[in-house]
Amino acid sequence: MISRLDSPTPRILPILLVYLMLGQVRGPVSSFMGCQKKKNVKAAVTSIKGDSSTTDFPNLFKSKSTMDRLFTYILFLLNLSGTFSKSKYIYIEDQKTWNAAQNYCREKYTDLAPVSNEQDLNKLQKMRPSGRVWVGLQRILSTNNWTWSGGGPMEVPWANKQPDNGASDTNGYIDENGLSDGKEADSIAFFCYSPKVVNEKKTWEEALEYCRKTYSDLASVASLCKDLSKAG
């Protein structure tokens, strides 16, 4: 049996486009102070519409740190395209190991489901009929850090006394207690997710408010939303 649950989230495509343009960003996130919001977006639009033979962006991108430019360009892309998405969570009752579940989700949908906030965690707990259910949480053994399958750090609170980080406890699941770590070889049900694109025209402020209210399904985008919120 397959069950579905819709949860609104920002689209990840603009983030991927930015990373392709600027390369992977490393180091601490800058404060993003001084962003001129709508003025910056307008300048970016003017630059792109002005001369189709050049790929230069306005000076606002050159005068800021790489991460500042990243944030500004993300907002520009969101405002220009007016496109956001909703993530559809799909419950799969077939029991699989974590790796097999991940392969299934990537083949049929997008990936194993990430959990961006406690609200989504509560929704998935209610959607779960019973028992343990895999989500897209994995432990990087070299650093002992927990990350989501699609990238980004783990920021949702664990269940009580979790994770215990046992030698074989390398993946995360949801049960009635919340998020816990378990053995990859265990065969249990799992949640997949798939983004569902919708068109919504949004200004800079509306895009920021969208981030504040809905957060994201991928923790990497959630982190960007947090820093944009600080800039407001």
* Structural domain boundaries in the chain: 2-6+89-194, 13-84+198-231
d(CA 121, CA 127): 10
- Work out the end-to-end distance of the chain between its first and last CA atoms, rounded to an integer number of angstroms: 44
Q: Which residue has the tokens 């694109």?
A: 197
Strand-pair category, 188-199 with 111-112? antiparallel
> What CATH number was assigned to the domain covering residues 2-6+89-194?
3.10.100.10
The pLDDT value recorded for residue 93 is: 95
State mean pLDDT over 138-160: 89
d(CA 4, CA 88): 6
More confident residue, 178 or 70: 178
CB distance 114 to 136 below 8 Å? yes
CB distance 138 to 150 below 8 Å? no
Q: Is the pTM higher than 0.75?
A: no
d(CA 210, CA 8): 9
- pLDDT tens for 63-97 read 445 554 555 455 445 444 444 445 689 999 999 99
Taking every pair of C-alpha atoms in the chain, what is the biggest distance, in angstroms? 59
CB distance 32 to 227 below 8 Å? yes
Amino acid code (one letter) for 157: P
d(CA 217, CA 115): 6
Q: Which residues pair with 6 in a beta bridge?
A: 88
> Which of 1-15, 79-93, 99-113, 189-203 is most confident?
99-113
Average pLDDT, the chain: 68
- pLDDT tens for 153-162 read 888 899 999 9
* Backbone phi, psi, residue 2, to 5°: -120, 125
The pLDDT value recorded for residue 153 is: 82
Cα angle 25-43-231, degrees, rounded to a multiple of 5: 50
E strand spans, the chain: 2-9, 83-96, 111-112, 133-140, 145-148, 169-175, 178-183, 188-199
Which candidate, 203, 139, 137, places its Cα nearest to that of 172?
Answer: 137
- pLDDT tens for 1-60 read 565 655 444 444 444 444 444 444 333 333 333 333 333 433 333 333 333 333 343 443
State mean pLDDT over 124-139: 94
Residue 173 has pLDDT above 80, yes or no: yes
More confident residue, 208 or 132: 132
Strand-pair category, 133-140 with 145-148? antiparallel
More confident residue, 29 or 136: 136
The pLDDT value recorded for residue 28 is: 35
